[in-house]
Amino acid sequence: MIDRRRLETGGFLVFLVLITLALGVVVSSFASALLWSALAAILFQSLYQWLLKRWPGRRNLAASMTLLIILFAVVVPTLFIGSLMIDQAGTVYSKLQSGQINFAGYFQQVHDALPNRIQGLLDKSGLSSFDRLQSRVSSLLGNSVRSIASQALSIGRNAAAFVLAFGIALYVTFFLLRDGDKVGPAICRALPLERSVTETLVDKFVAVVRATIKGSVIVGLVQGALGAATFWIVGVPAALLWGLLMALTSLLPALGPAIVWVPVAIYLLATGAIWQGVVVVISGVVVIGLADNILRPILVGRDTGIPDYIVLVTTLGGIEVVGLSGIVVGPLVAALFLTAWQILTEQRQAQPVEPTAAPSSHQPVRPE
């Protein structure tokens, strides 16, 4: 006979899964806005609590003031810099289309400026005139700049959708700030997990979010700004756009912004711009390079425990799957994955091993 209670429980679970998937499909168009709303609420929750202590019981006022601070301290400067970047991206894109910017020609100038002995070594190694290297690196850099420029221009074309998503993000952020101390625990209680497991996963979630945003993103922006300022001082065209590239490459462990400023320094030195090349090298090594070592411990504190190679792979994979939000989503998925397996391992090791029945060592006594 069918157990009615088990049937009803199974039916409810099926309904719960289906309605959850349906909700995900309905809000999928605003997934990025909702994600960044949750991240902003987590990062600025301490600011909200500080304002709430100044105005006890006035939760709406504290949340509104926190939202205004986020708007004028973070969003408005970001939009201003973004508008400048779009202008430079459009200029670079048009020059790429017209052929005024030719990466292959720049590499040829570097090759011609090298000493004859080095040119001979390159010719013997099959890199005569940098033919192979030109085609690969030029294609890579050209496609990267074209992609960034086209993405920046698409933001301007889809201004209405951007404004709508931006408004939804601010609206949701307000309620998450105001009711976050209730929403968070309610979600934790609803998860079908042990309390200790839930607390561990939530702690890891918050730690990775803060480390990624406060560490990687802010440090990346600082390094990008320093790189853009350096390129502007030495007269490199579209300095702001190259600074954006340095900010993005700062997310890559080990290499970082050096992927951008090292080739620029080599080009400047090889083409006779000695003092410009020296300035780029000094700024890259001393200023840009040390910014990560100085700022990250201050902003993040403890390390999240994710190996650099996993951060590299998951960040690139996250950007490939979900776009810019992958900067956070990739390392976050990796951290929860590692934490979940660590919890499973600890639980298995904590389980007592039942002793097996050992054979009796007593021998029957034989009468003499």
CB under 8 Å, gap of 24 or more: what pairs does 158-161 form?
none
pLDDT tops 80 at residue 86: no
Q: What is the pLDDT of residues 282-320, one digit of tens each?
A: 888 888 877 777 776 666 555 566 777 777 788 778 877
Half-sphere exposure of 129 (CA within 13 A, CB side): 5
Task: Confirm if 328 and 36 have CB atoms less than 8 A apart.
Answer: no
Count the alpha carbons within 13 Å of 318 in the hemisphere toward its beta carbon.
21
- Identify the band that residue 133 occupies on the pLDDT scale cut at 50, 70 and 90: low
Instruction: Find tokens 């904590």 and name the residue.
Output: 350
Query: Could you count the other beta carbons within 10 Å of the beta carbon of residue 97?
Result: 11
| pLDDT digit string, tens, across residues 69-84 | 988 888 888 777 777 7
Radius of gyration of the chain from its Cα atoms, rounded to whole angstroms: 28
Q: Which residue has the higher pLDDT, 203 or 238?
A: 203
Query: Is residue 168's pLDDT more than 70?
Result: yes
Amino acid at 127: L
Q: If you average pLDDT over every residue of the chain, what do you get?
A: 75
Helical spans, DSSP H, in the chain: 4-26, 31-43, 45-54, 59-70, 76-98, 103-113, 116-124, 131-157, 159-190, 195-210, 218-234, 239-249, 258-270, 274-282, 289-300, 308-322, 326-350
Q: Residue holding tokens 């951008």?
A: 260
pLDDT at 155 over 70: no
CA separation, residue 199 to residues 38, 179, 188, 359 (Å): 18, 19, 8, 45
Q: Give yes or no for a contact between 257 and 249, defined as CB atoms under 8 angstroms apart.
A: yes
Query: What is the predicted pLDDT for the residue at 22?
Result: 92
**pLDDT value of residue 119:** 61
Task: Give yes or no for a contact between 279 and 233, defined as CB atoms under 8 angstroms apart.
Answer: yes
For position 212, what pLDDT does the model report?
75
Collapsed DSSP state (helix, strand, coil) of residue 234: helix
Cα dihedral across residues 108, 286, 140, 242: positive or negative: negative
Q: Model confidence at 130, in pLDDT bands (50, 70, 90)? A: very low
How far is the C-alpha of 214 from the C-alpha of 217, rounded, in Å?
6
Q: What percent of the chain has pLDDT over 90?
A: 4
What pLDDT does 65 receive?
92
3-state secondary structure of 27: coil
DSSP assignment letter at 188:
H
Query: Mind listing the pLDDT tens digit for each residue in 6-38?
Result: 777 778 888 888 998 998 888 888 888 888 888
Q: Is the pLDDT of residue 58 over 60?
A: yes
Q: Where do we find the tokens 């607390």?
A: 199
Distance between alpha carbon 231 and the CA centroid of its chain, in Å? 24
Average pLDDT over residues 338-355: 77
Give Cα separations from 326 to 35, 58, 166, 223, 256 (angstroms): 11, 36, 18, 20, 17
Burial of 64 (0-12, 13-18, 19+ CB in 10 A): middle
Q: Is the pLDDT of residue 368 over 50?
A: no
Q: For position 194, what pLDDT does the model report?
A: 82
Burial of 330 (0-12, 13-18, 19+ CB in 10 A): buried
Put simply, whether the predicted model's pTM sits higher than 0.85 gets the answer: no
**What gap in Å lies between CA 247 and CA 45, rounded to an integer?**
26
Q: What was the pLDDT predicted at 121?
A: 66
pLDDT given at position 257: 84
Reading the block at residue 316, the tokens are: 């690139």
